[in-house]
Structure 1
Amino acid sequence: MQLAKRKMSVGEFAELVGLTPANVAVLKNGRAKAVRFSTLEAMCRVLDCQPGDLLEFVEDEE
């Protein structure tokens, strides 16, 4: 959603953040198990946003 607001492609975002487009897709689709703080920082810098704009807490199912 943040990419669409900025009319930025996944490939362009990946290059600016230092990730592969495949890894951006994993993050975008919610399949990532962890995110490095350095990656989160780079994403926020590129998108000019705060971590809370990108993250959502979801309880684990028991």
Structure 2
Amino acid sequence: MPPEEPHGIEIHLDALLAERGMTVTELAERVGLTPVNISVLKNGRAKAIRFSTLSKLCQVLDCQPGDLMSVKRN
């Protein structure tokens, strides 16, 4: 199996949580995920995200997908 290429997506969850005064634990409870899964996403280690999860994150954080993630620029 060939090694996976790193993805070029940056996650801005830290900034959004700070702006909203919300913890990973609180976000996890409100979205319906475990804190570990939120941390995996927050630290850029997630390999995929379901649209339903993305929608729920945006609803809870009152943001758009583009506020949550962007393409890394070289």
TM-score, shorter chain, exceeding 0.5: yes
Distance (whole Å) between structure 2 residues aligned to residue 33 and residue 57 of structure 1 = 14
Alignment of 1:11 onto 2:28: no
Distance (whole Å) between structure 2 residues aligned to residue 57 and residue 5 of structure 1 = 21
Over 3 Å off, 4+ runs: none
What stretches of structure 2 of length at least 5 have no aligned partner? 1-14
Residue aligning to 1:33: 47
Distance (whole Å) between structure 2 residues aligned to residue 35 and residue 58 of structure 1 = 17
TM-score by structure 1 length? 0.90
What stretches of structure 1 of length at least 5 have no aligned partner? none
Q: What count of residue pairs does the alignment treat as equivalent?
A: 59
Indicate the SS of the match to 1:19.
coil
Distance (whole Å) between structure 1 residues aligned to residue 72 and residue 47 of structure 2 = 12
The percent identity for this pair of structures is: 64
Report the structure, 1 or 2, having the larger strand content.
2
TM-score by structure 2 length? 0.76
Deviation by residue 1:4-41 (Cα, 9 ceiling, x = unmatched): 10101110000000100000000000000000000000
Distance (whole Å) between structure 2 residues aligned to residue 11 and residue 40 of structure 1 = 17
Residue aligning to 2:59: 45
- Which structure has the bigger radius of gyration? 2
Residue aligning to 2:68: 54
